[in-house]
A and B are shown apart, each in its own frame.
Chain A
Amino acid sequence: MKAYLAMVRVSMRQLLGRKWVILIGLVALLPSVVMVVQTRVSAQGRLAAEFTQGPLLTLFFFVLPLTSILLGSLVLGEERRDGTLSFLVLRPRRREVITGAKLTAAWLAAWAISGLSGLLPAVILGFSANVWRMVLPVIVATGLSTLAYVGVFMAIGYLTRWAVLIGAGFLFFWETGIAFAADSLANISLFRIGLTAFAGMVSQAPALLDDAMGSLQPGAGGAIAKCLVIAAVSVGSISLLMRRRDLT
């Protein structure tokens, strides 16, 4: 456990200690900026509905995927390419412990940024309209979607240096394009996992969320199960690859 926590701690420092994280942090303020604008232009009674449009969709369509894809892709991929992965592999630790710690680190780092990005507008909503019921769902939902993205892109990042580009293509062409146009493809979308959890936890989810979710049904239980499966498959497959393939 001590080794696992040490790996998580060092990996988080590695991920969050970069200069461009400041840029990501600024981008993560976008939902809050949108929420502030809405408090100025919308009636107080409409602010809860407005929250699930501008700020929430900015968060789930853009900020969260971008952050999670970047951090997930780098967490193992960069170590492999820099040669530091051998430092971890040459220790008396199972590969699953190493990849599990890496997944945890990237998830916590991505969740910290995305969670705050969602929490701030929810708090602004709370103070502006005395509506606090968005706070917990937005934290849970961002936690789930970041886990899904990080799980998938940690594996892709381990295999190829083009993971971030692949992630951008997946986000902008598939998730916000094709999967939006064809409801039945919404299943293969990672931010929608979080949205279904959010919709399942918030009573009276607005119609716009239904459009964004496509054919998916609201519910936190299914979303949690999906994310856990993605995380387990990611850790299992990368550990297997580490055992079977050369570490060059």
Chain B
Amino acid sequence: MTAFSALNTSISGLAAAQRAVDITSQNIANVNTPGYSRQQIRLSSVGSTTAAHFYTGDNSAILGGVKIDDVLRVRDAFLETARVNAGATKEALAVQASALSGVEGLLNEPGDDGIQAVIDDFYASWHNLAANPGTSRDAAAGQVLQAATALVNQLHFVSSGIDERWSNAQSQLTATVNDLNQATADLAVVNQNILEGAVDEHPINELLDRRDSLVRTIGELSGARAVVKTDNTVDVMINNISVVSGNRALPVTVAGATSIGGVAADPPHLMSGVNNAPISGGKLAGLLAALGTDIPTVATQLDGVATSMRDAVNTLHSAGYTTGGDTGLDFFSGTGAGDLAVVPETGADLALSVEPGVVDGGNAEAIADLALDENAEAVLGGPGPSVRLRALASEIGTKLQSLNRAVEVQDSVFATADAAINADAGVSIDEEMTSLLMYQRSYQASARVISTIDELLDTLINRTAV
């Protein structure tokens, strides 16, 4: 061993310590960067040259210092996949729950100003008419018409509110698809950069972080599955439809109904080129579920409330007689909650009597009695408006309650997956500070070795045989 080789050893130590401090400073700088994976320097000792030393005959190993193998990016692919999946499920549930809760808010049930309250008031107004068929009839008949108008207006309000919620969700779908296409295009570029970086042997750890965070975004948006290839690029598939393949991104488009009326014929869906792109996870799946099933179901059920109300009242009303002796008159017209309308214009058009030529209020009483579920069912041969409305509220409530619970559960699943990644790949300031100290000390020690050798050489060169 020569003094000079020890110098070289020390220099490699200095270089390694410096590089390690670099890495540590990178880690500390990115302690709060989302998606950053901590990096670790990997060192190995350099072995001896094989030949025995010529002058000393010492054939023990000659130390060659330290070598920087590479800079390791700490990230567990399995944990990452678990996080992407958990994120996709969480987003799907959360967006579905939020769409449905907007509709739930419209119903205003249970309370004194929901649909049920105006239905009850409507029936009560017929009771008043039945009780006052005499001179106070005009006032009572006016009350019936006002209550009917209030009922119709309330149904219109809720129905148009539902349509609006649907349109909002539809715009959200378009915006989300744009986000998805942006993310897949970005990922294709990153894939290209990774390939180029690998060829030029540039460090690509930061690119890999960028890649993983794009995969997370894509996963949260669409529940897509990413496949990491040996060259570190990823391909992304949504249910076997490729959206990113190497440096190519295949944009997804929105197709299907653009208003709630068209859902039954052609529910909103996504296309990749000319193929259907079935989505089963992520924000898009939640939006599609809300657009294709949840909101239209509520709209249909509300229409059921309106049409059963129309049919029940019309059946009885058209069988009765007005004071003028007219019969066969409808009370409600329209085809659903959105266009239900009141037919009679004045109180004289109300068929309040069971028989012609008398004022008995019996028909008004029969209509008022529709308030009892069994009477409405007897007239309709099926569930009446109140029963349907309660079923609607109960269904929406149950669905939303279970969605909310699932969101809570999925939140904690996601939090666990995220914490697992943070535990593995996150930067610990304590750890970095300790490393910093360690590398600082090793730098100082290597420097000390150099100055020691310098002193040795000084002794040898300047003090010997002078």
A and B: bona fide binding partners: no
Interface residue ranges, B against A (CB under 8 Å): none
Residues of A within 8 A of B (CB): none
